Amino acid sequence: MVSFGDFEKKVLNYFEKGTKIFYNGRNVEVLEAGKPTCSHGEPKTDIYVLVTDGNEQEEIKISYKKENADFLENKTNAERAEQLFGSNWRWVIESSTTEIKELFEQRTRIYKESFKRTEKGAITLGWKFELFNKPGGDLSGKMDLNKQQV
């Protein structure tokens, strides 16, 4: 099996500067490509490509996961949610989280004592939406997705 790093290099080879590719219905030229970096942690984008058709520039952001990856998406914003779930993305997220609303409401918000991995004195300010390939934890809900969304 090809390692993650080797696969990344293999994909990057397709996007060498000056290479012409067909993207979004038009011929474009690669201006730059590489592994993005950020000041904190690992960026969500695995490969960044900047292309031009001679008039406009466009960014291509490639992200990929191993076949056995459990964790698929975090820090989801409105733009990314629409890319994933389509125009009714709000309904998709709301319906999946409403299903487990009572579990959230029953949770402790101020921890006077430590509990599992939560330290004594911690305060829960809210929760976040994350997309997993498999159920995880007692605050996981099932998403009702159509074939295209999956």
Residue 65 above 80 pLDDT?
A: no
Which percentage of the chain shows pLDDT scores above 90? 24
pLDDT (0 to 100) of residue 103: 81
In the chain, where the domains are located: 4-62, 71-132
pLDDT (0 to 100) of residue 55: 94
Residue 2 above 70 pLDDT?
A: no
Q: Which helix (H) or strand (E) holds 60?
A: strand 57-62
The pLDDT tens digits of the residues spanning 88-137 come to 889 888 888 887 788 888 888 889 988 888 889 998 887 777 776 666 66
Q: Pick 131 or 62 by higher pLDDT.
A: 62
Select from 120, 99, 101, 100 the least CA-distant residue to 111: 120
Confidence of residue 31 (pLDDT cuts 50, 70, 90): very high
Confidence of residue 40 (pLDDT cuts 50, 70, 90): low
Q: At a CB cut-off of 8 Å and minimum separation 6, what does 120 contact?
A: 111, 112, 113, 114
Give buried/exposed letters for 59-77 (b at 16+ CB in 10 A, else e).
Answer: ebeeeeeeeeeeeeeeebe
In this prediction, residues 43-53 reach a mean pLDDT of 87
